[in-house]
Chain A
């Protein structure tokens, strides 16, 4: 395989690794824009992943699987919605509970499906366009969920900034008391936003279990739900920046895999770096464990860099984020 082909492979892999993050982060973005912080993304993704996988095994259709994953995500989100919107529970604690519950529930219902092989979702080559060199494989030879992720990104941007409903959603997120005073049903709008977040979380899970690695394994999301939450902050609550962030993290994941595969040639290239730094870098490259830390470390570093400007975060974050709303109060 020549270097050129490798580069294209890395870029395609980046898009595939970033797509579940795009789904999950867009869903959470809408939820947070309505003023609700749902930390249960990881749990919703896992339950979505396992539901989508099981339905695909049972019906043979990954498309039904995707629908099931979305439905499962919505149901999970409704638990969170019911608790936080009607029983006014602490959103941080309830979101954590949703994740803990989702980890347990998905492991439980997926038990008999570990290692079951399935035919995952196949790429759709767009006739003509996919044969263009470079651009073809990069842009026009993907599974339909990747195209969907881009469409949803455009849709979410349009909804938030160009429609009346989007304006109302943002108003609820900025000041629920004001929105309530004008006569909007804060709880209803927030529930809808939470459900959207759940559906997108489920979809992100389905992407993992049906496309990215077509199988079910316990805890297979491996913290991607949390990375998606970090992405929303990274994107300062703007949809387009979610895409940049998601592909950035996808790229780090894929690069670390390729570095490992490249092994020796990388080691010799590194010999020009003086020790001990060169040795440290080599130790990282030679250990799958240490390489696996890179996306998490990158998330921490990026989060710190983005959040450094407290004013910027305060101006961009929905003002009512995480605050419970009780109409009688």
Chain B
């Protein structure tokens, strides 16, 4: 007997919803095995990982906060992924968004007004867009692989942030610590729920989620992106410009990543530091796939991924397990998501050993 993959005539609707669940269950099983191997009671560990972070109002607020940058980056990336444009430099675009928006906050420090926050958000979006525009320009003009250029530019962006906070933008009263001044009150996202850090950035992210959903599902431009991804030949025959799809994908994903960056520094961190993201831009790639590249799927996936970050912290605090467990989990989850996707396009058949032909 042999297992064989048979292509399905149509993609399976049922499996489209079932496969992320299968992946989540497999990740849980892997988690049980991993924790047992570490000599920790797996039930206690899983409880600490997935339930404990949400047992307080503050914890729920943190859950939404950590999901916000993931959501913004992943929704942006999903546009490109649907169009077969591979921006994997969201981390860099997020960083540049934080740099540009944070730069505005520092430039107007001590001389501010209610106009400051909108200006910062705008600058953050523009910064991310500009950083994302570079790989798309290099792709369109020079045919350079956007995966590699967007990733290389992430490293560059992180170093630029390091240069600024170690050098010209360092807090003059900060005892030489590599960080900028704390932004003024008008440069900080207002907290919406008392007793938590839940700030204005969360609803803003949801608004952008809906905008992207409308764009992808209901506009002609969004349709062109989808055709470019699913049937490149048809897109070319219809005369849809490939270059425009590339540029548009990068501007959208770069802008949203930039917004994620400025929302993170103006809402959660309130200053610029050498490290402003624990890899949200990279984790967002997992989130995008886990959410099946659909805005509402991505909403759920970002909540799950955010919970994994919080759970990792809880494991470290309460069970003394290394924070790196989160990274292992994230990788496993993505493997399982990709692997179980095969069920959407193929069915698995048990077949008798084929006769020698």
Segment of A115-123, A190-198, A295-303 engaged in the interface with chain B: A295-303
Segment of B50-58, B123-131, B147-155 engaged in the interface with chain A: B147-155
* A87-B338, A230-B148 given; 6 more Cβ-contact pairs under 8 Å: A98-B331, A226-B151, A296-B156, A297-B156, A300-B153, A310-B143
Could you tell me the distance between the alpha carbons of A308 and B328 in the complex, rounded to whole angstroms? 38
Given contacts A89-B341, A108-B324, A308-B143, whether A300 and B289 have CB atoms under 8 Å apart is no
Identity of the chain B residue whose Cβ is nearest the Cβ of A87 in the assembled complex: B342
Chain B stretch 1-55: residues in CB contact (< 8 A) with chain A: 4-7
Q: Does B332 contact A (CB under 8 A)?
A: yes
Contacts of A111 in B (CB 8 A): 322, 324
Contacts of A223 in B (CB 8 A): 151-152, 155
Could you tell me the distance between the alpha carbons of A25 and B324 in the complex, rounded to whole angstroms? 28
**Interchain CB contact under 8 A, B148 and A88:** no
Interface size class of A (residues with CB under 8 A): 35 or more
Interface residues of A (CB under 8 A from B): 39, 79, 83, 87-90, 92-94, 96-98, 100-105, 107-108, 111, 218, 222-223, 226-227, 229-230, 233, 287, 289-290, 292-293, 296-297, 299-300, 303-305, 307-310, 313, 326, 328-329
**Interchain CB contact under 8 A, B163 and A289:** yes
**Interchain CB contact under 8 A, A104 and B334:** no
**Interchain CB contact under 8 A, A296 and B153:** yes
Identity of the chain B residue whose Cβ is nearest the Cβ of A89 in the assembled complex: B338
**Interchain CB contact under 8 A, B339 and A107:** no
Contacts of B332 in A (CB 8 A): 101
Could you tell me the distance between the alpha carbons of A306 and B147 in the complex, rounded to whole angstroms? 15
**Interchain CB contact under 8 A, A97 and B286:** yes
**Interchain CB contact under 8 A, A104 and B330:** yes
Q: Does B169 contact A (CB under 8 A)?
A: no
**Interchain CB contact under 8 A, B342 and A287:** no
Contacts of A309 in B (CB 8 A): 143
**Interchain CB contact under 8 A, A93 and B338:** yes
Could you tell me the distance between the alpha carbons of A86 and B321 in the complex, rounded to whole angstroms? 34
Taking the closest CB of chain A, its distance from the CB of B172, in whole angstroms, is: 18
**Interchain CB contact under 8 A, A89 and B339:** yes
Could you tell me the distance between the alpha carbons of A313 and B286 in the complex, rounded to whole angstroms? 30
Could you tell me the distance between the alpha carbons of A287 and B162 in the complex, rounded to whole angstroms? 10
Q: Provide 6 A-B residue pairs closer than 8 Å at the C-beta atoms, listed in order of the A residue.
A: A93-B285, A101-B327, A290-B160, A296-B155, A296-B159, A328-B5
